[in-house]
Amino acid sequence: MRADAPAIALEQVAKRYGKVEAVRDVSFTLPQGVLAALVGHNGAGKTTLMKMMLGLARPTAGRMLVLGRDPSAGGIEARRQLGCLPENVTFNAALTGREMIRFFARLKGESTKAADGLLERVGLGAAAGRRIGTYSKGMRQRLGLAQALLGSPRLLLLDEPTTGLDPEVRQGFWSILAEFVARGTTVLLSSHALEELEGKAERVIILDRGRVVADGAMDELRRLARLPVRIRVRLAAGASRDWLPSDAVVLQDRDACEVEMACAPEEKMDLLRRVAAEGRATDLDLLPPTLDELYAHFLQGRSDLEARP
């Protein structure tokens, strides 16, 4: 596969289960070496899309290329370059972490040493000799990640990888993924936890009832949605307040008064200049719209469209 070829290319892909249209007319391409997220409510079609990319389900319509090949054609070579972590991964509880990872390593043609190294990398070195049955949910997820990373995959498909993990384990997860992305691996993960994708996913694909309702870099989506920017300001003691916009909200007025105001993106600079004028503020925070707000915006757009006669 050429270095500039997309890692994933979908063209009008659909998947139907009887009367249920799990995936409808989905098209997108992902270049190599990016971390992208599929975001959507339960039943939006995230798992179905991943299953098709893994060759475990066949699209009812459309074309799909994963690492340059049709996944349902089942080429063994492409499979080797693909790592996956299913939702709620389960392993044989009677095996130790080390036995488990070595077993998968043999399947992938990977050395025992590399497998043990990955256990260390995900922080399971000390627990490698313990039976998986004694592992916490976070430890099992980390074992799952180590399994997915075997063989230095060019593409990682991770279904809700961080659900139920504590913040510290999550942080470790993200830093390992960033390391692989920096080496050229493409990561596509699904998530409900929108806020944690901020600053991590370069690309966000929002799905609703099987369809893509938005697709882009976070900044791009924010621009498209034109959601208001919020500015939180700490006022200087005794400063006049007559310059504040009428819809400014006072958050607290004890020691130093804190107010929050919102404005359209194109009015941001103007408002900032007013805030920054001599003697008015001692501090400010710019609060861009969150991914949650974006998500709500795009889903709202969708239902508006569907409500039309």
Ligand X SMILES: Nc1ncnc2c1ncn2[C@@H]1O[C@H](COP(=O)(O)OP(=O)(O)OP(=O)(O)O)[C@@H](O)[C@H]1O
Q: Which residues of 137-161 are buried (b: 16+ CB within 10 A; e: fewer)?
A: ebbbbbbbbbbbbbbbbbbbbbbbb
Minimal distance, residue 14 CB to ligand X, in Å: 12
Q: Is 19 in the site for ligand X (CB under 6 A)?
A: no
CA separation for the pair 30, 33 (Å, rounded):
9
- Over the window 79 to 108, marking each residue x when it contacts ligand X by CB under 6 A and - when it does not, the resulting string is --------x---------------------
Minimal distance, residue 204 CB to ligand X, in Å: 15
Minimal distance, residue 138 CB to ligand X, in Å: 20
Name the residue among 36, 45, 17 with its Cα closest to residue 209.
45
CA separation for the pair 65, 16 (Å, rounded):
19
Between 61 and 250, name the residue whose CB sits nearer to ligand X: 61
Contacts (Cβ under 8 Å, ≥6 apart) of 227: 265, 289, 293, 294, 297
Q: Which stretch binds ligand X (CB under 6 A): 3-11, 41-49, 58-66, 233-241?
A: 41-49
Laid out side by side, the sheet with 249-252 consists of 249-252, 258-263, 229-235, 281-287
Q: Which stretch binds ligand X (CB under 6 A): 38-46, 136-144, 221-229, 231-239?
A: 38-46
Minimal distance, residue 144 CB to ligand X, in Å: 16
Q: Which stretch binds ligand X (CB under 6 A): 46-54, 63-71, 88-96, 287-295?
A: 46-54
Q: Which stretch binds ligand X (CB under 6 A): 44-52, 97-105, 174-182, 253-261?
A: 44-52
Between 201 and 229, name the residue whose CB sits nearer to ligand X: 201
Q: Is 32 in the site for ligand X (CB under 6 A)?
A: no
CA separation for the pair 172, 204 (Å, rounded):
21
Contacts (Cβ under 8 Å, ≥6 apart) of 293: 225, 227
Q: Which residues bind ligand X (CB under 6 A)?
A: 17, 20, 22, 40, 42-48, 87
